[in-house]
Structure 1
Amino acid sequence: MPQSRDRPPALEPIRRVSQIRQYSPEPVPDEVVDQLLELARWTGSAKNGQPWRFIVVRDKDRLKKIAALRPPIGWLATAPLGIAIVLEGAEPMFGAYDEGRLTERLLTGATMLGYGGGTAWFGGPAQDAEAKRILGIPEAMTARQIVMIGRPISNKDPRASGPMRGRKPISELVSYDRWGMSKQK
């Protein structure tokens, strides 16, 4: 694809990141997992607290149990690898901030290494508690999601009512200096 001034080549890997829900059964090599975990380890966090731990999940039975927590995440059982994000504390104050940064870092790293990824929320307090039981996570910790990694076989959403494709135009998303104000030329 030709590059223009509006699309610098350095940003293309980030533009390629998408939510993958269909994977090849090919295992993710340990070296790739280690690279992703190292990348995640260096993610910034609120007050540099680094409040996270990771559980690398390859066991298919365990992944199937997590996939069964709620219908919209059934697709995750097809991935060869999951990385559950576990945060310190039962109600981590900055958890959503840190968790979001970690997730995006893992998805971007997977894409840049030739893999794909998708994230799945367990679903709510009852499902979170069940996921913690399945993964053996202590009660004092928080776990709300798992990031799936693998070789994509499709970037299409296998669910019956998948989301819209493409992106809204920037003019619909951005205001300048005040809500509803367009860019001054």
Structure 2
Amino acid sequence: MAKQLGFVLDSNRCLGCGACIKACQINHSLPSALSWRNLRQVEEADSKHIRRFFLSTSCNHCANPECLRVCPSGAYFKRRDGIVLHNPEKCTGCKSCIVSCPFGAPQFNPVTRKASKCELCYERIDQGKLPYCVQACLTGALQLQEIHQIEDNKLLRLIAPKPSLRLTRPSVFYKPPRETELK
């Protein structure tokens, strides 16, 4: 079985501080209009329970990346460890990857006029270090793991009703938030 690195997010530990986003933007010198990692607050409620939590997301380094499949210039490739990389030298800025990614991971860089995305800080991983976003997480909510070695049956794999989301097989797992009883 091929190695597949991916993110695990414990939504009970994420404070929504945005340190992961800032670390990525600063260390990759991204223009202010560009963000490879996003944070959103989610609230789910019924008559008895409420769940409020944060989801920190970026490129999912999918097992079957749609960006790689649709890129007409061959600007995307996948490493043996599952990291999906983008070669800006080959990118024509056609935005096919941006439109086709069901997660909105590739972003248009207004400075280079080409696509760009999270590359899981592969240079740091090659040096035995953690990605900047994982290192910056103050609570340890965001982790990098070998997906095939995850044995926690309480983790949820990112899925959605769209067939394209299931087909890409994203390499992200979430520990679901605890419910709080309404009083």
Q: TM-score, normalised by structure 2?
A: 0.29
Structure with higher RCO (Cα < 8 A, 6+ apart): 2
More strand as a share of residues: 2
More helix as a share of residues: 1
Query: Which has the higher Rg, Structure 1 or Structure 2?
Result: 1
Q: TM-score, normalised by structure 1?
A: 0.29
